[in-house]
Structure 1
Amino acid sequence: MPAQGKHRRPKSSRLSRGLVVASTGGAALALPLTGAATATAAPSAAPAVVAVAGKPAAAPAAADKAAKPVTYTVALGDTLSGIADDHSVSGGWKKLYEDNKKAIGDDPSLIRPGLKLTVGAKAPAAKASTVERADRSAARAVVTPVAVKSYADNLDGWIKESLDIMSRNGIPGTYDGIHRNIMRESSGNPLAINNWDSNAAAGTPSKGLLQVIDPTFNAYHVPGTSLDPFDPVANITAACNYAADRYGSIDNVNGPY
């Protein structure tokens, strides 16, 4: 290494101070600097980046704006935690459950396919590490899809389906209590109709498995079931809802009600 000493500015002519030498492999090009009066003009390459003084900063990307709530339809195998992760819900599955508690019911682990959920604004996006993404993928890989429960299209299946709906809506009643009253009222015929009693004379005949008149069916109809009073499940569920309100439970009904 050369010994250190004071650096003196080398003398240069007016021409040499007005030029800059740019390497082009083996040759050199003399390019004029601004203000050089004696240099011969030579073509120069366009700059890669042009800075414009006073140009306003770019507007924030649309993705930076707060996302509006969207409606998500539950698919087979979905869980609240999985949906919350996929949509980056601020507050996680608990916030998603709070926002949709009325639709989901009291048990956040029971979400049925086809259920509409309101998914709120997304939390600020954060890139997950490779390990976190791998862990999440592995966790999802071992999730067993929950099979959609099916019911037989007969009296046994109608009662069982109604009992599940009643459970989700806090309506008391047992299989035996429902079956006993059905056999007394209609002998298990979902299309049974009474055209001779006082209700019929008033223009509101009793209908269906549990012989419910239209005003009672409409008043105690449970959302999510058919609006047809002859529909077996809708008829049972509305009648049990009415019996719970008036008698405490369908199990307490042992005669005309």
Structure 2
Amino acid sequence: MPVRAKHRRMKTNVITRGMIAAGTGGIALALPLVSATGASAATPAQAPQVAKTAHTAVVPNVQLVTYKVVAGDTLSKVAQKYPKSGGWKKLYAANRAVIGDNPALIRPGLKLTVGTKSLGSTTVRTTAKATATATAAVAVAKSKVTTATQASVKSYSNNLDGWIKQSLDVMAKSGIPGSYDGIYRNVMRESSGNPNAINNWDSNAAAGIPSKGLLQVIDPTFQAYHVSGTSMNIYDPVANITAACNYAAKTYGSIDNVNGAY
């Protein structure tokens, strides 16, 4: 409830009164003479009132459920199961505290809060002051998040674990689905974790385009599905993983759905 402002009563100047004779047919009338200063002070000045205009807002009542992540799940898949969730980006925003900084990295057993459907709406009355305060608070919060993001610079270990994590971060920025477990499983099957692996015996090799790198990608596929911001070297671990996951996403929905030669 808004607090009423306390106003100090302004001092009024003492009215200066004098007498002046006005001629009215030889009869002198005594009229009060009011100074200009006294006239302006006769009516106390009022301090401006803070606007208390009430506004109404309709807030939807949304039913929330808890979803337990299973193996092979991605945020995109979960969002598809619950169309009212608003897509994987809104799902990530609502569960960022649980998921962490990488939306592509969700583990089996993780519990996500999902909005499923609207159950009507509630009308909320607010004042202009309350609305302004809330808007200012949101602006400050966004500023702090931006500052914290700019201040934090991630570093990755130069091994398979670090390469996968860095790839997942690049994939998240480009909206490419995939999980750590899905990438790791396919890397171990395709190259045993060797970024310089090359297949010189299969049909691709016979055609002059052997499969290369951690996820055994051929040159035409790497060039077609290369993700901006990564190296153009097909043997680069992060570039190789990210391009392969981009291809798998377009072809199979996600690298998590790949369980054999692809």
TM-score (norm 2): 0.44
Point out the structure with max Rg over C-alpha. 1
Higher strand share: 2
User: Which gives a bigger RCO, structure 1 or 2 (Cα 8 Å, sep 6+)?
Assistant: 2
Q: TM-score under structure 1 normalisation?
A: 0.45
